[in-house]
Structure 1
């Protein structure tokens, strides 16, 4: 029988904590990532519902998958934040997505918004990677894996739009 481990058992915080400014930077980056991922959940869910309403099942499925992925990334970021001494409450805002209330949002506008969202996510994970590289192995590996996943999503949206 395979033994399973909780997140806390798999990812133990470093035994020697770095200076507060370093931890503060990690927590701040994780908060930004969590906020961004939760915004993605909101945006992708909206687009999935919008697109499915106009009978584009393949594109709708991509948005649905992206919403689920964003929720998983949000949860992981919050778990790391808690592990490094941060708080679990992350205010989320969909304010930049002003067209959410616009029923005239087109598929291409939705995909362009997704492309911009994924570009920002890639950069956020790369920043976390650069800050933690050589210091926090688990967090660095996670940031690298997430950046790659976001890059794959970015390429998928670019292919849908015909940009690639």
Structure 2
């Protein structure tokens, strides 16, 4: 993302001359070298060969991506999904909860999040979210006297019809029938 911004800003909008491009590349190289030094990253000499006078922005972008990969926090995929599940379990009542919002909150691409969630949990995100919402709806029906008109909102649905349809699909009866 940063390198795309640099390209757009400096080559498309500002159209730097060759001397300005050279300065820009030197500054990027200095920044990359500082990252290597400050993070005590062992970086093999073959990869550092990209840092030279005739380097291009693409070379530096590749090196930056490699540095990001080497400097990544050790949180494994399972830990991330556990944190995401905890977030979903706490925020299931938010009707705006969706795949793109979760991926933005946890700084993970939508496609990778979707793949990882299904691989780890065994069901896709929307199915999991619906299961959590239905479980909570059933629990509220059995333990409180909340009105159905308030219940669907409490568990994150925007519309009563879709809530009733999902509830009947999950439990085989309408919410009113389960309560009775």
**TM-score category, normalised to shorter length:** under 0.3
> What TM-score do the two structures reach when normalised by structure 1?
0.28
> What TM-score do the two structures reach when normalised by structure 2?
0.26
Specify which structure has the bigger relative contact order, considering alpha-carbon pairs within 8 angstroms and separated by 6 or more residues.
1
